[in-house]
Structure 1
Amino acid sequence: MISQNIAILGPGSWGTALSQVLTDNGHHVILYGDSPAQIAEINEQHTNKRFFKDIVLDERIHASTDLKEVLKNADTILFVVPTKATRLVAKQVARVLDHKVHILHASKGLEQGSHERISTILEEEIPAELRGEITVVSGPSHAEETIVRDITLISAASKNQKDAKYAQELLSNDYMRLYTNTDVVGVETAGALKNIIAVGAGALHGLGFGDNAKAAIITRGLAEITRLGVAMGAQPLTYIGLSGVGDLIVTGTSKHSRNWRAGDALGRGEKLADIEANMGMVIEGVSTCKAAYELSQALDIEMPITETIYKVLYEGLEPRKGILGMMRREAKQENEFD
């Protein structure tokens, strides 16, 4: 692939890691953010210490607070902003973008209130004549590992196979491998909903439970993620792929995961407000849990783990009591899938 001009919106941990991947691949990368101090640090010191204390970024990576400048010559726009900011940033892009581009996103969540997936938000806010089909980049990928060029395999999903193939070629290299997929609903819901289960897995650890409980919540969590996703139009097999079980494993078992760490702190008795204040980064599983719970109620989909985590986060249920309640649920056959 010939060198592309890539605008990455969101200089967080994953946006920064992807900027390094794309620069390694010979593309021209410019990061957009709204913090002048952070942008100056990236440009002048070639670091982003809020997220990576010991990493020196490639000097070819530039950053700016001027969205119009960032988009001026862009071939591709990669959204890596928190879910709650996606619609606002998309509106800003639509106002200043004056040519057609490829649009990718690498965020994971459901919008509060509307319960919409991120690609749907981008489709609504950015006119079709300015873009191709949205491509979702998602899978088991800790930024802390990708930025040091550890092996990472993820999915690129788009309604148009050609757009998915473009993302595959754009990002793939010796340590990053992408597989294409056309099940956008499945890839997005898997990436969003696994954060909820990761909060629960962390809580189990914080409460002192072991590997048996970890395996249980990941397995049964995957079952209810799949139930909701299929009800939304996803293909069941997507959930046993990289963006499904792969991402669930990496997020539900690792201290790199802010969702797991948040759950761990909840299990140890910390208050959610304190956890969010101390994290310094968005905990997508918290807001997504509310959206997913409301969506499951509207679609009449049974999601006992999500419901329990929702009650812990939003109704003050004590985590240990929540676990006991799930264990005492009516006995089921496993192939009932609920």
Structure 2
Amino acid sequence: MMEETEQKIGMVGSGSWATAMIKMLGDNQKKKDVFWWIRKEEDLAYIKTYKHNPTYLSAVELRVHPDHLFSDARKVIQQSDIVILNTPSAYLKDALKGVDASDFEGKIIVTAIKGIIPDENLIVGEYLSKIYGIPLANIVVIGGPCHAEEVSAEKLSYLTIAGKESAHAESVASVLRNRYINTIISTDVFGVEYGAVLKNIYALAGGICHGLGFGDNFTAVLVSNAIREMETCVTAIDPEVDRDINASAYLGDLLVTAYSQFSRNRTFGHMIGKGYTVQSAQLEMNMVAEGYYASACIQNIIQHYELDMPICNMVYQILYNKQAANIEVKKLATKLT
């Protein structure tokens, strides 16, 4: 019987979602080495000693080797066969400082980032292809619906793993699935990644409405319109794929992000609806709400393709043009069906 090959997995990121994925990898039975880039030196030292992340999901015990923790992302990438990028989109460039295109050669590059690179107006897969020359065939996207907090509690969850090369997607799925993580394989790389970006904007919209005092009845109508908006957008961007917008990666991820108590985008929106400024909401949360950055980027796409996306337009007007939330939501209410 042939001995199982030991895979080398690198995690670039140390927030809640990266920490939850480290737990997934540790609870997976496949033979592997896991290397982890941790941004803060003090967090790295703490995790080495106590096997817990002191900043995120601090109650979770992490199965990591002390010698496999680094504050240099390049060292993690160079030692890995599968590299999982898992920082907020706005911080990816900083995390990859000093990393060369040659460091990514021959590897499966996974994006677990549900956002757009702000200065580039590109989803992560497109950014990696443009800046580092990584072939699209070597890029895999991880979609939801899945919250880090429920993963940490080992509640049954599902991940969608999308790759143009199904074999690469399956390789990634095989090191993540475990007794509480099921995986769904997809070839819709652009749809899954853009869907993950858009659902954050819609969750933010739902939070704004809730903060203004709108109830569950209105939120249900908002979300049903949002999934149609999402389909309009991803179809314009990548019309060749025959996707089912009601699948878990699209509708499922939208629902959990729009309704869950763990949704930071919904929380951020709720604060805006309550009258917080963008800056004060960001300071109080101390976590990144990807929908904020995504809103400006998606606005450019809406204009480029001349799309009718009133929910995204409403969020943009409130966040970036400082329009009154109550007035913008009332305008939107006349357009929902």
TM normalised by structure 2 equals 0.91
Q: Does 1:33 align with 2:38?
A: yes
Q: How does 1:96-111 map to 2 (within 5 A)?
A: 97=103, 100-111=106-117
Answer whether contact 1:109 1:284 (CA < 8 A) is retained. yes
Distance (Å, rounded) in 1 between the aligned partners of 2:296 and 2:101 = 31
Partner of 2:267: 261
CA 328–162 in structure 1, closer or farther in 2 if over 3 Å, else same: same
Residue aligning to 1:171 = 176
3-state SS of the aligned residue for 1:141? coil
Q: Who is 2:228 aligned against?
A: 223
**Could you tell me how far apart the structure 2 residues matched to 1:248 and 1:82 are?**
19
CA distance in 2, matches of 1:68, 1:115: 24
**1:245 aligns to 2:251 (yes or no):** yes
Structure 1 residues 201 and 91, CA, compared in 2 at 3 Å: closer, same or farther? Answer: same
Q: How far apart are residue 110 of structure 1 and its match?
A: 1.9
Pairing 1:240-319 to 2, within 5 Å after superposition: 240-319=246-325
* Pick aligned residue for 1:192 from 197, 206, 230: 197
Aligned to 2:16: 13
The AA in structure 2 aligned to 1:224 is E
Partner AA of 1:17 in structure 2: A
Question: Is the counterpart of residue 50 in structure 1 residue 52 in structure 2?
Answer: no
Question: What's the offset of the Cα at 1:91?
Answer: 5.8
Structure 2 CA distance, aligned partners of 1:286 and 1:225? Answer: 17
- Please list every run of 5 or more consecutive structure 2 residues that lacks an aligned counterpart in the other structure: none
Identical amino acids, percent of aligned pairs: 27
- Report the Cα distance in structure 2 between the residues aligned to 1:214 and 1:48, rounded to whole angstroms: 35
- 1:183–1:238 contact (8 Å) kept in structure 2: no
Instruction: After superposition, give the CA deviation of every residue in 1:8-53 in whole Å (9 maximum; x if it has no partner).
Output: 0001111111011111114322210231011112111222132224
Q: Which moved further from structure 2: 13-22 or 166-175?
A: 166-175
CA deviation vs aligned residue, 1:71-95 (integer Å, no higher than 9, x gap): 3421211000111233454563326
Distance verdict in 2 for CA 1:236–1:113, change over 3 Å: farther
Q: Any residues of structure 2 matched to 1:57-72 within 5 Å, and which?
A: 57-60=62-65, 62-72=68-78
| Range that drifts further, 223-232 or 93-102 | 93-102
SS at 1:295 equivalent: helix
* Paired amino acid for 2:250: G
Q: Which residue identity does 1:116 align to in structure 2?
A: L
Judged with a 3 Å threshold, the aligned counterparts in structure 2 of structure 1 residues 142 and 19 are, in CA distance, closer, same or farther, namely same
Specify whether residues 113 and 66 from structure 1 end up closer, same or farther in structure 2 by C-alpha distance, changes over 3 A only: closer
Instruction: Work out the CA distance in 1 between the residues paired with 2:102 and 2:176.
Output: 26
> Which residue of structure 1 aligns with residue 329 of structure 2?
323
How far off is 1:207 after superposition? 1.5
Whether the aligned pair in 2 keeps the contact of 1:230 and 1:236 (CA below 8 Å) is no
Give the conservation status (yes or no) of the 8 Å contact 1:78–1:104.
yes
Partner of 1:292, secondary structure, is: helix
- Aligned residue for 2:99, secondary structure, equals helix
Q: CA 1:257/1:98 → structure 2, altered by over 3 Å: closer, same or farther?
A: closer
CA distance in 2, matches of 1:128, 1:288: 23
Q: CA deviation at 1:149?
A: 1.5
What secondary structure sits across from 1:301 in the alignment? coil
Work out whether residues 187 and 238 of structure 1, in 8 Å CA contact, stay in contact via their aligned partners in 2.
no
TM-score, length of structure 1 as denominator length:
0.91
The alignment partner of 1:146 has SS state of helix
Match of 1:78 in 2: 84
1:110–1:192 contact (8 Å) kept in structure 2: yes
Kindly state the Cα deviation for residue 310 of structure 1 after the two structures are TM-superposed: 0.6
Q: Measured at CA, do residues 226 and 49 of structure 1 come closer, stay the same or move farther in structure 2, by a change above 3 Å?
A: same
Please state how far the C-alpha of 1:242 moved relative to its aligned partner: 1.4
Aligned partner of 1:265: which letter? Answer: M
The 1:91/1:241 distance shift into structure 2, 3 A limit, reads farther
Alpha-carbon distance in structure 2 between the residues aligned to 1:282 and 1:41? 23
- Counterpart Cα distance in 1 of 2:121 and 2:73: 27
CA distance in 2, matches of 1:284, 1:21: 23
Greater shift in the superposed pair: 62-71 or 136-145: 62-71
Task: Look up the equivalent residue of 1:297 and give its one-letter code.
Answer: Q
Shift in alpha-carbon separation, 1:320–1:43, aligned structure 2, 3 A: same
Partner Cα distance (2:65, 2:153) in 1 = 17
Q: Following TM superposition, by how much is the alpha carbon of 1:128 offset from its aligned partner in structure 2, in angstroms?
A: 4.1
Question: Which stretch of structure 1 is more off in the superposition, 256-265 or 55-64?
Answer: 55-64
Structure 1 residue 139 displacement after superposition: 1.0
Assess if the C-alpha contact under 8 Å between 1:186 and 1:239 holds in 2: no
Shift of 1:199: 0.5
Partner-residue secondary structure (3-state), 1:209: coil
